[in-house]
Amino acid sequence: MLLGKQCIRFILFYCLTVSAFAMSKQVEDSGKVVDVKTDRVEVKLFLRDLAKGECNYINKWMWGTENTCPRNVAEKLSVKYLGESAYIPVSSYSDLSNVKEVVIDKGREDSFYTIKISGGDAAFSYYSVLSFKGITMLSRAVHHGEFPEDSWEKTQYKFNDLNN
């Protein structure tokens, strides 16, 4: 019975959040820049293809794969809000692999928005939600795609916003 409730929760979460998304882009092939824009936010996710035999990631834990070489890895993330660049910690994207989609959700208030990066397949699927207010990153949460309430991690960011 508990599994049934988890499935219903996931389906409701998925349906409600998908309907609120402003812009999304599927990753047809890796080794390129995934560019997604809204009227206020511009996101560029740089992916790197991994050639056969060129895998330094097999023994490293990453979202989207386990004990195998991923097809692609997130190499750089660039976010601009109203043309101004946001500071993006490397830790917010460097453990994401086999990326499939990038989505921007405008949020309920003007300066708040989220970027959702999803990837992996079946047992290795995940979705990462990066939360922002303007150019300030607030948090990152990564959830397992099949068991989002049981397998996840969250990082909150606090930056010194002195205007010197």
Structural domain contains residue 162: no
pLDDT at site 30:
46
Q: Is residue 163 part of a domain?
A: no
**Residue-by-residue DSSP string for 43-96:** EEEEEEE--TT--S-TTS-BBTBSSS--SEEEEEEEEEETTEEPP--GGGTTTB
The alpha carbon of residue 5 and the mean position of all alpha carbons in its chain are separated, in whole angstroms, by 25
pLDDT digit string, tens, across residues 79-92 = 999 999 999 999 99
pLDDT for position 113: 97
Residue 7 confidence (pLDDT): 42
With a cut of 70, list the residues of the chain below it in pLDDT: 1-31, 53, 57-59, 163-164
Phi-psi region of 18 (alpha: psi -120 to 50; beta: other; left: phi over 0): alpha
59 within domain boundaries: yes
Enclosing domain of residue 37: 2-156
**Residue 16: in which H helix or E strand, if any?**
helix 2-20
Q: What is the pTM of this model?
A: 0.79
- Asked whether residue 164 is domain-assigned, the answer is no
Is residue 61 within 8 A of residue 95, CB to CB? The reply is yes
Nearest CA to 81 out of 134, 143, 10, 44 is that of 134
Number of domains in the chain: 1
- 29-39 burial, b for 16+ CB within 10 Å, e for fewer? ebeeebebeee
* pLDDT value, residue 8: 40
Could you tell me which of 145, 108, 113 has the C-alpha nearest to residue 128?
A: 145
Task: Quote the pLDDT of residue 161.
Answer: 72
161 within some domain: no
